[in-house]
A and B are shown apart, each in its own frame.
Chain A
Amino acid sequence: MSKRYLLISLVLLIALWQIGAVLLGSPILPGPWPVVHALLNDLQRDLVGHFLISAYRVLLSMVIATVLATPLGLMIGQNQALNRLLSPAIYLTYPIPKIVFLPVIMLFLGIGNASKVFMISLILFFQVLVVVRDASAAVRPELVQSVRSLGSGRLQLLRYVYFPACLPAVLTALRVSTGTAIAVLFLAESFATQSGLGYYIMVESWGRMAYPEMYAGVLAMGLLGLALYFVLDQLEQHVCAWIAPGE
């Protein structure tokens, strides 16, 4: 992705936004400048805190989901009996929109960080689990045999073969589900809480019709998504350099 095109896209987006605001001529769609002004203004107050708590929740969820789903996916992918046993359960539970359980989770885990982190982790867990299982099952047996012939035991096979084979899939799954994670975060933060960007957008701004601040919150949430996407993209390029090696 070239920096030049990124800049052009950004300028185009801002221009479209400004044109839309002028055409609509309503306070419910302020132009970019009042929003940036509100953003800079609120950054000096409590917006940074809301941004950080949201970032913490979504990052922690990603870590928890990856740490739990990767070993389980590896085990299921390699063990046909386990795969036969667990795959129907994954097949049945994977497509259920887990967000509908949010009220139940809040009843059990309260309205603090735990319920939000659990909700996002649960959704990401299945995304990662399925791709790791498939990537681990797709490791060519010849590769495993050749590394075994070098004297590798089970743990070393995991370390040198299965784990690196699954890493690109894990990072892709996380990158693809960044949008879902942020969306779920927004929903989970938009009621019965007093912190996070969702709260800032829905309660602090929308609730009191402070539209520039509301858009500032939307912008901050967009920036959070973009930052996560960028970090995962960089990580993928670094860790998976072998996939598209440059000459």
Chain B
Amino acid sequence: MISSSLSDPAATIQVRALSYGYTRADEIYHGFNWSVKHGESWAVVGPSGCGKTTLLYLLAGLHRPKSGEVLVEGDPVTGPRPSTGLILQDYGLLPWATAKDNIALGLRIRGIKARERDALAHHWLERLGIEAVANKYPGQLSGGQRQRVAIARTLILNPTLLLMDEPFSSLDSSTREDLQNLVVQLATDGSMTTVLVTHDIQEAAFLGRKVLVVGGAPISDGVVVDNPLARRPQYRHTPEFFAKCSELKTIALELVEGRPGVRRSLEVAG
């Protein structure tokens, strides 16, 4: 099930004719278009090193496009926005701050008073089941606990757009499934728009109701696959899930190998 997604004025994210790269020769994006509607949950899947993380950095306002534009909720992104949350692959936690202080960091940066910060941090520690490790440093936590801290640190700021960069890649499979379920639940509760980038096709198939498959750089388009059954805990054990994974894998391989014949037969984004 493949559909196209073109720029839409009512979208949460609009990427228009985006080009990004240090020089023309090593461009990662070239004339890339993409659109994400409010409340959608997207997964962007592609080979490691193809520029998926760069896309998140551009959406988060940490990188600026060389040309073209990135709009979030109608405004051009010129720097980090208060209502965009970013969860990174390696958690990005401060090693010298306790779990609680890491969770409260964003509030501290925004000048929220200590009392309110503590109350909110406590709420999120409890909600993510990590109140027992509140006073421990990241170095003392397991991978799953660290990722929960990173999730709490982002969600405490109440984002409307949540960007995730391979957030579960270094976790064992049962912890990964637990956290995937948790993210689905939290994102649904907060009616957030979510974009997850991953090289893991199963993760993309489980978390993305829409999956954007991209090939190698420079990325100028990708294939959008609808995946309406995604995000239901039992989905990952159904034949439909495995069929979707296999479909995504085929598309990804074709894009990487760059067989233009196959590519033309699909409706592509942008």
Contact = CB atoms under 8 A, between A and B. Distances in A.
B105 A147 contact: yes
Interface in A130-154: 140, 142-143, 145-152
Most chain B beta carbons < 10 A, residue from A146, A156, A161, A242 = A146
Contacts of B92: 142-143, 145-147
B227 interface: no
Contacts of B80: 148-151
A153 B2 CA distance: 42
A150 B94 contact: no
Interface string B57-97: 10010100000000000000000101011101111111111
B241 interface: no
Interface residues of A, number: 23
Given A142-B88, A156-B109, A160-B109, A149 B62 contact: yes
Interface residues of B, number: 30
A245 interface: yes
Given A147-B105, A151-B80, A245 B137 contact: yes
B136 A147 contact: no
Contacts of B57: 145
Contacts of B138: 242
A150 B62 contact: no
A161 B157 CA distance: 19
A164 interface: yes
Interface in A204-247: 240-243, 245, 247
B109 A151 contact: yes
B106 interface: yes
Nearest to A140: B90
Given A145-B62, A147-B105, A151-B80, A242 B96 contact: yes
Most chain B beta carbons < 10 A, residue from A143, A150, A156, A161 = A150
Interface in A37-56: none
B77 to A, nearest CB: 12
B140 A245 contact: yes
Contacts of A147: 92, 94, 105, 109
A247 B62 CA distance: 36
Given A160-B94, A245-B136, A245-B137, A152 B109 contact: yes
B139 interface: yes
A137 B15 CA distance: 33
Interface string B97-139: 1000000011011100000000000000000000000001111
B146 interface: no
B94 A151 contact: no
A83 to B, nearest CB: 19
Nearest to B60: A149
Nearest to B139: A245
A161 B94 contact: yes
A111 interface: no
Interface string A163-184: 0110100000000000000000
A171 to B, nearest CB: 13
B153 interface: yes
Contacts of B91: 146
Contacts of B139: 242-243, 245
A151 B82 contact: yes
Most chain B beta carbons < 10 A, residue from A140, A147, A151, A245 = A151
B84 to A, nearest CB: 7
A150 B157 contact: yes
Nearest to B101: A160
Contact of A146 (B86, B95, B108): B86
A241 B57 CA distance: 32
Most chain A beta carbons < 10 A, residue from B80, B106, B110, B139 = B80
Most chain B beta carbons < 10 A, residue from A147, A156, A167 = A147
A151 B80 CA distance: 6
B109 A247 contact: no
7 closest Cβ pairs, A-B complex: A146-B92, A150-B106, A149-B86, A242-B137, A164-B96, A242-B96, A245-B140
Given A150-B106, A150-B153, 10 more contacts: A146-B86, A146-B93, A147-B92, A147-B109, A149-B84, A150-B157, A151-B80, A160-B105, A243-B139, A245-B140
Interface of B: 57, 60, 62, 80, 82, 84-86, 88-97, 105-106, 108-110, 136-140, 153, 157
6 contacts: A142-B89, A146-B92, A146-B93, A150-B80, A240-B96, A241-B137
